[in-house]
Amino acid sequence: MKITICQLNPTVGDVEGNAKKITGMLAQTKAQRPDLIIFPELFLTGYPPRDLLEKEWFIQRCSAAIRELTEASRDYPETGILFGAPTTTGRDTGKGLFNSAVLVHNGKVTCRHKTLLPSYDVFDEARYFDPADSVGLVDFKGEKLGITICEDAWNHPDLWPKRKPYDYDPAADLAKMGATLLINISASPFEAGKERTRFELIGRHAQKHGLPFIYVNQIGGNDELVFDGRSFGVDKNGQMAWSLPAFQEDVVTIDSSLPGKPAEPPVHDEIESIYLALRLGVRDYFRKCGFNRAVVGLSGGIDSAVVAAVAAEALGPENVLGITMPSPFSSQGSVDDSRKLAGKLGIELEEISITEIYEKYLEILEPHFEGRTPDIAEENIQARIRGNILMAFSNKFGHLVLTTGNKSELAVGYCTLYGDMSGGLAVISDLPKTTVYRLADHINREREVIPRVIITKAPSAELRTGQKDQDTLPPYDVLDRILEGNLEDGLSIDQLVGQGLERETVEWVVRTVRQNEYKRRQAAPGIKVTGKAFGGGRRMPIAARY
């Protein structure tokens, strides 16, 4: 069977625009006369549509688009069109919606519905959808298609060491029914290393059932999630027959009967994948939200340098404004380093001293703070002044403020509410500090984009004389090891201590993470690149004792 794979970038909520992408692909590939053209999961709505699915007008718009695409299919009688969309169940009970794979062909519609609805981490599909009552094959052009949707294929116990597998395997049932070709349409978000898991998963299905398997994933950034594409197909032996690139739209027409070739699972350089994910996440967030320019506070440190470099690459340097805001405690080197960075990136730079504003704050507060030693209150005033200046530029010129805090800082609250946390998108909030250093080196792999002095200097917030991050925090390699074990692997204090970590340090980190949940609840959305990010996938209580 000749099949066209459409690895495309939908916009959440833009039903009409996404439908036009489908009809556009039909016209573009008409000369090739494919038997089937395939789009990703929930392509008509974009993924994830979240509470838009609870709006009756939105579902009506989806139903109308399906009818229009069904009618349009009459103009392409040789081609079946398979795409993801919500469809109504027709029942008065339950959620009333299925997450469906819709196949339209020559004016007729056939639907297959998602059976396994993920409700973990960033997924909450049981909130919106009912599971399919059963699975069934689709007879199409001499093939018996076993169509599954994303999670329906994610059911192998060896791939889920941290949670229990499902008690049902839709792909196995479809194979028993006599499927000749397995297809999975997907909206699988990026996280570092996930491409290996996908390949192993789909390959095992193919080997187990002796069937070729096609996997079609979307690409694009939608809020905190980035979808990396990497669609591929394997033959009945689980060997790679074809694959599409990461983080970019691509369309290819393949022959489903072609054998694959022995190959290792596709493994991409982790830090390069993270960089591409951040770049795409920033670019799509701006494009889909209607922003054109970014403003970044440049401290002369590595975090703001990496954010500015990613933004310049994603948006173009002409669309990035850096602002350096020295205080009485800022070193001249930090200002000079910010200037060097802006010059290398080719971005505009403004310098606005906050010393006079800060001194006025102290003057006004002096009678109220009399007799008290200067402490974090005075330090945070500086961060909040800077946040206000950045937001003033955002309001006046329509720029979006990019926050520059990393995951290590956000975890332990080494950040200031309404200060350096102010902004519309947290670019590196899911990058541990040690990964930020790796990313800086990657950005500099061909030439010095980020001045070397920024990478090698000791990290400092420069909110008091001689301040260094390590005066307050454990060494970042230790801190990040504890955070990864506790946040991503779910290890207890005793388990972490058993790995050779100092108990006092582990207890401080775990306690401090818990105490700062309230800050993270108020943080800007951040781009997810690890297995467990702060944001929608983490739902911990604030007013709690545990």
Long-range CB contacts (< 8 A, 24+ apart) of 377-382?
379/461, 379/463, 379/464, 380/416, 380/419, 380/463, 382/327, 382/329, 382/354, 382/358, 382/419, 382/463
**The pair of three-digit structure tokens given for residue 460, joined into one six-digit string:** 């400092």
| Biggest CA-to-CA distance, the chain | 86
**Active-site choice (41, 143, 195, 224):** 41
Residue 48: cis peptide before it, omega within 30 degrees of 0: yes
d(CA 447, CA 178): 56
Cβ pair 197, 232 in contact under 8 A: no
Cβ pair 309, 449 in contact under 8 A: yes
Q: Please indicate whether residue 114 is annotated as part of the active site.
A: yes
Cβ pair 403, 422 in contact under 8 A: yes
Q: DSSP letter at 445?
A: S
**How many Å separate Cα 310 from the centre of its chain?**
15
d(CA 381, CA 387): 10
**The pair of three-digit structure tokens given for residue 300, joined into one six-digit string:** 């002369």
**The pair of three-digit structure tokens given for residue 48, joined into one six-digit string:** 């994830």
3-state secondary structure of 234: strand
**Active-site choice (2, 21, 114, 433):** 114
Neighbours of 131 (CB within 10 A): 18
Cβ pair 408, 479 in contact under 8 A: yes
- If you write DSSP's letter for every residue of 244-295 in order, what string do you get? --BSS-EEEEEETT---B--PPP---HHHHHHHHHHHHHHHHHHHHT---EE
Give the helix/strand (H/E) hosting 71: helix 56-72
**The pair of three-digit structure tokens given for residue 72, joined into one six-digit string:** 């349009």
Pairing of strands 425-426, 400-403: parallel
Q: Which residues contact 128 (CB under 8 A, 6 or more apart)?
A: 53, 54, 86, 95, 97, 99
Q: Please indicate whether residue 150 is annotated as part of the active site.
A: yes
Cβ pair 526, 427 in contact under 8 A: yes
**Active-site choice (150, 191, 288, 462):** 150
Active site positions, annotated: 41, 114, 150
